[in-house]
Amino acid sequence: MHILLGIFLDTILPLLILLIAIILAVLLYFKLKKIYKKPISEKLQRNEVPQVKLKQNYCTEEEMRFLEALHKSLPRDCISFPLVGVSKLVEPKGNLVDYKAVMNQYVDVCVFLRRDMKPILVVDLYSPSPVAQQLKKFDEDVTRVLKQVKIPVLHKQIQSSYNIEELSIEVLQSMNADIVAYLKDKTIKENVKK
Domain boundary assignment for the chain:
61-189
The tens digit of pLDDT for each residue in 49-107 reads 888 898 888 888 999 999 999 999 999 999 999 999 999 999 998 888 888 889 899 99
Digit-coded pLDDT (tens) for 5-34: 677 677 888 888 999 999 999 999 888 887
Residue 168: pLDDT over 90? yes
Which pLDDT score is estimated for 40? 57
Cβ atoms 167, 73 nearer than 8 A: yes
Q: Is the pLDDT of residue 132 over 70?
A: no
Question: Are the C-beta atoms of residues 114 and 149 closer than 8 Å to each other?
Answer: no
Q: Residues 137, 173, 79, 141: what is their CA dihedral angle, to the nearest 10 degrees?
A: -30
pTM exceeds cut of 0.95: no
What is the pLDDT, as a whole number, of residue 97? Answer: 86
Which helix (H) or strand (E) covers residue 156, if one does? strand 153-157
Q: Summarize the confidence of residues 169-194 as an average pLDDT.
A: 87
> Which parts of 36-77 fold into alpha helices (H)?
61-73
- Per residue, the 3-state secondary structure of 76-145, as one string, reads CCEEEEEEEEHHHCCCCECECHHHHHHCCCEEEEEEEECCCCCEEEEEEEECCCHHHHHHCCCCHHHHHH
pLDDT of the residue at 45: 75
pLDDT surpassing 60 at residue 41: no
Q: What is the pLDDT of residue 192?
A: 78
Q: Is the pLDDT of residue 116 over 70?
A: yes
How high does pLDDT run on average in the chain? Answer: 86
